[in-house]
Amino acid sequence: MKYSQEQIIELKRKAIQIRANILEMIPPGKVGHLGGSSSIADVMAALYFHTMEVNPSDPKDPKRDRLIMSKGHAVLVQYACLVELGYFGREELAKVKTLEGMLQGHPDMDKTPGIEAVTGSLGQGLSVALGLALGLRLDKLPNRVYAIVGDGEQAEGQIWEAVMAAHGFKANNLTAIVDFNGLQATSTTKEIFPIENLVGKWSSFGWNVIEIDGHDMVQILDALEEAKAFTEGPSVILAHTVKGKCFPFAEGKAKYHNASMTEEEYKEAWVCIENLKREVEA
């Protein structure tokens, strides 16, 4: 086995803590993107606590890897990672989306240490990540760039402009990760827009496609390693996920794309966290 049992358990602990941090940001009555943040939480744990080079004491460290949250509405999960790494204090979590807080509703590099770009208008982050990858390559730097894109976001034409361009430029320092949770703001992706056969779509555009269960930590780590090792061009990880993962009342429901929880749901969510903690320690 490439990873020790202890490493996997530690990453699972991080993923639980990330989900707990997300809850902390959206107490009952406060609207937030619970669904799309929790679906990608395991991948984010692997990236920030295993795969990526990060330096919280110097957020602009030139040696760092970059992560662009193209599905910017799920920035809560990125804040949840950054706070855990110490990019900013925990007191910021309660101030998310407030006038005095540094945590904006969508990623803003000017306001929040550790955020690398401005995203939120969907379809643009993969292109920004490509630009970063090309710039780093011009300087012969080894750093990698990761872009998290949504499955609903696949409807944006610009995604496919970037997909074609990245292949053309053989951007092998770029990895895209599709949070394939099957749901978007108002319904299933299937019902909203035909994005079927994503494997065929991306691979026919010249990308190295890796399909995984986006909640299986070993599969996630393997996929990220495989993407790194593939040098002929860019790689995409199609991560099959569950929107609202780990919160049964929210799992697979479009409603929790951007909603507020009731007092009862919020209590239930914390019970889920406690159960997960017990499971992982057992």
Partner 1 sequence: MRTSDSLRKTYGETLVELGKDNKSIVMLEADLGNSTMSSLFGSAYPERYFQMGIAEQNMASVAAGLSLAGKIPFINSFAVFARGRAYDQIRSSVAIAKLNVKICGSSAGLSDYGDGKTHQSIDDIALMQVLPNMTVLSPCDAIETEKMTKAMVECNGPVYLRINRNDLSLVTDPKADYKIGQMTEMVKGKDVVVFATGVMVQQSIQAAKILEKEGISLRVVNVSTIKPLDVTALQSYCEGVKGIVTAEEHSIFGGLGSAVCSALSMKRLPIEVLGIQDSFGTSAENYSILLKHYGLESEDVAKKVRAVLSAN
> C-beta of 240: minimal distance to partner 1 in Å?
27
Those residues with Cβ within 8 angstroms of residue 250's Cβ, 6 or more apart along the chain or in another chain: 34, 35, 38, 243, 244, 256, 265
Residues 156-175 that bind partner 1 (CB under 8 A): 157-158, 161-162, 164-165, 168-169
Residue nearer to partner 1 on the CB measure, 9 or 109: 109
Those residues with Cβ within 8 angstroms of residue 123's Cβ, 6 or more apart along the chain or in another chain: 70, 153, 156, 157, 158, 159
Query: Whose CA is closest to 175, among 33, 73, 279, 68?
Result: 68
Q: Which two tokens stand for residue 149?
A: 């894109």
Q: Binding-site residue total for partner 1 (CB under 8 A)? A: 34
The site string for partner 1 over 25-64 (x = CB under 8 A, - otherwise) reads ----------------------------------------
Cα R_g (the chain), whole angstroms = 18
The phi and psi torsions of 239 (rounded to 5 degrees) equal -100, 110
Asked if 70 and 115 count as a contact pair (C-beta separation under 8 A), the reply is no
Interface pick for partner 1 out of 21, 38, 112, 127 (rule CB under 8 A): 127
The site string for partner 1 over 92-121 (x = CB under 8 A, - otherwise) reads ----------------xxx-----xxxxxx
The site string for partner 1 over 130-149 (x = CB under 8 A, - otherwise) reads xxxxxxx-xx----------
Interface ranges with partner 1 (CB under 8 A): 66, 68, 108-110, 116-121, 123-125, 127-136, 138-139, 157-158, 161-162, 164-165, 168-169
